[in-house]
Structure 1
């Protein structure tokens, strides 16, 4: 169960990061160049998809009665972490998303 919970948290973070990087000003803050329109739309789509996966993982861990409640908690924690990291360490905020593929492999092996 713990793997589903932390997987939900990681995907919530990546989803929030995708939505954040899908905005022109945040992308420019991190990468020091304007975001192409196609990439911006792709980041937003990937962000929403990651949030959906996060919801499904939370529902898998707690069931549909408490899963959405846990999902809102995961969204709040992920958003707070992103808000704290983005102004001071923007590249670190993006680099943390590299943990998601590693976590996905761990979920498949468990």
Structure 2
């Protein structure tokens, strides 16, 4: 039978308590904040990309922009949408790794599509405002 004195038990108990308090103050909390900033910027960039994809279509373009956009400008919109989408995927994989990164990216992409679809359905004229605000917030959150 193992015998433990009361001083050893108190020392063991205090070690466990100090170990728990140091676990709460480790670097995970600061990493979590950086991950939250990245998720917000990832969501904002996905919203910008999906709104660019929607503005390529003539129907959505007529609902959101009063003036006509020429064909080369729509090609630039489509190229920028693909570029922003791929860069968002790369940033997500770099930050979260291959196990969580694509899942986080597709989750943000799904929310972005929902935002763009609901905006086009109910208040199409506000799509450009949402796109501009998302781009600004995404850059600010990425720099923080």
Q: CA–CA distance in 1 between the matches of 2:66 and 2:141?
A: 34
8 Å CA contact retained: 1:24, 1:34: no
Query: Measured at CA, do residues 77 and 105 of structure 1 come closer, stay the same or move farther in structure 2, by a change above 3 Å?
Result: closer
Q: CA–CA distance in 2 between the matches of 1:63 and 1:89?
A: 37
Deviation beyond 2 Å, 4+ runs, structure 1: 32-35, 105-108
Q: CA–CA distance in 1 between the matches of 2:62 and 2:79?
A: 19
TM-score, normalization: structure 2? 0.68
Q: List runs of 5+ in structure 2 lacking aligned partners.
A: 1-34
The reply to whether residue 37 of structure 1 matches residue 71 of structure 2 is yes
Query: Measured at CA, do residues 72 and 103 of structure 1 come closer, stay the same or move farther in structure 2, by a change above 3 Å?
Result: closer
The alpha-carbon deviation at position 64 of structure 1 amounts to: 1.8
- The residue that corresponds to 1:52 in the other structure is 86
The reply to whether residue 90 of structure 1 matches residue 124 of structure 2 is yes
Output the aligned Cα RMSD: 1.6
What SS class does the counterpart of residue 87 from structure 1 fall into? helix
What SS class does the counterpart of residue 35 from structure 1 fall into? coil
Can you list the C-alpha shifts for 1:31-88, whole angstroms capped at 9, x where unaligned? Answer: 1343310111011111111111221232233212211111111111100111111122
Moved more, 38-47 or 93-102: 93-102
The reply to whether residue 17 of structure 1 matches residue 51 of structure 2 is yes
TM-score, normalization: structure 1? 0.87
What SS class does the counterpart of residue 122 from structure 2 fall into? coil
- The residue that corresponds to 2:99 in the other structure is 65
Q: How many pairs were matched up?
A: 109
